[in-house]
A = this chain, B = another copy of it.
């Protein structure tokens, strides 16, 4: 890691940047990761999938076979929309969450983050409103901000996006003369909230969006990673024209491949392909065909089952140790899948201010404020159980509980903990953003 040689150097181009570049600011949680990645720190911060659970020899053989048999294609430019065979295979994957589509409806992207970016680019003028959950995925907020959207948080409850709050937000934004371009939601195993919309809730949200004529942007990276019974049915499964569905192989195969996709209504899909070509010409054939070869030759459903069991065990370790060790007044969500639980600290505690003390005790988390654009979330933090093993998770929660106890002692002595920590530093790495 090379440190910034910044400070004294002035930027001669500072007056040349586009208006939108003002929205591109370093997240306060970014600097955390250079510390959190030290081996002595138990990181409950990053959302890195545990790719070590893959059979690496098998992946190596898959890649080698692909290159030997179809190297001239795998190493060549491809279609801007993505490889046709892979798009057909994606239909099988999204069939698991009830989505019926045509290969022509699918646009393959460099991770689903790129799909988020393309959708925003195609729909959002500066000042357009996007409704997001409260809290919402930090990477989506970054995209919306970089296109100068007006981001409005809508309250959630234990079943995710709250219908009454959604209706109220639509009414309020429209009364204020705002153009609402979309509702961005993660219905299943929410990042960071750790909650899931039930079937009834999904129907209500769709109904509200349809009657208001607002596009739904459904982000579903964790949909297949449910721990209990059937995986949830996607919103897109019940509305092909009103929903853009985003999927990813980052959590079901491997994030380092950067292969995601959008399923979009016909007219939108055409725009997305044009935007994708401007953005990257075409997604990597090498990565796409590696995924395609893997899906065609390996027991991918079994592998997802392995991931599910692994993450369930880790989720259980987290919940059990939270239950056993957290001071009174601390609450958390119970995720039925995915990677995250959302913690609310006892009243008066500030998760951002507490972070340096947690790092000093060798445990890392993501403070809640990063998941809001409105300064909310000071009392919250996100815990990830995807990467450390159960023993490390328990040790991490033990350390965190100690830090919270100490904060409570301080608060009882001096009132609320209002020291605001500010972080500056390196732009690497950002595994948490996924």
Contact = CB atoms under 8 A, between A and B. Distances in A.
Contact of A433 (B113, B281, B290): B281
Given A18-B128, A63-B67, A285 B265 contact: no
Contacts of A254: 75-76, 286
A18 B280 contact: no
A72 to B, nearest CB: 5
A76 B59 contact: no
A77 B256 contact: yes
A262 interface: no
A242 B13 CA distance: 9
A427 B274 contact: yes
Contact of A257 (B113, B255, B281, B284): B284
Interface in A134-156: 139, 142-143, 145-147
A241 B280 contact: no
A24 B102 CA distance: 23
Interface in A384-429: 427-429
A212 interface: no
A48 B25 contact: no
A71 B51 contact: yes
A4 B63 contact: no
Contact of A428 (B80, B142, B265): B80
A326 B77 CA distance: 31
Interface string A185-211: 000000000000000000000000000
A75 B255 contact: yes
A278 B121 CA distance: 11
B84 A1 contact: yes
Contacts of A111: 280-281
Interface string A8-30: 01111110111111001110000
A267 B4 CA distance: 11
A121 B18 contact: yes
A305 to B, nearest CB: 19
A13 to B, nearest CB: 6
A105 to B, nearest CB: 10
Interface residues of chain A: helix, strand, loop or mixed (majority): helix
A434 interface: yes
Interface string A96-139: 00000011100000110110010001111100100000000001
B265 A283 contact: no
B24 A122 contact: yes
A281 B258 CA distance: 9
Contacts of A12: 241-242, 265, 267
A284 B265 contact: no
A268 interface: yes
Given A67-B60, A122-B18, A284-B110, A78 B429 contact: yes
A102 B71 contact: no
A2 interface: yes
Given A11-B265, A16-B181, A139-B281, A68 B76 contact: no
Interface in A46-87: 48-49, 51-52, 54, 56-57, 59-61, 63-68, 71-81, 84
B16 A256 contact: no
A258 B279 contact: no
Which 3 pairs of residues, A with B, have the shortest CB-CB distance?
Answer: A11-B267, A79-B428, A75-B254
Given A2-B102, A73-B256, A110-B258, 12 more contacts: A12-B267, A24-B274, A64-B64, A75-B256, A78-B429, A80-B430, A110-B284, A113-B278, A146-B275, A258-B280, A258-B284, A286-B290
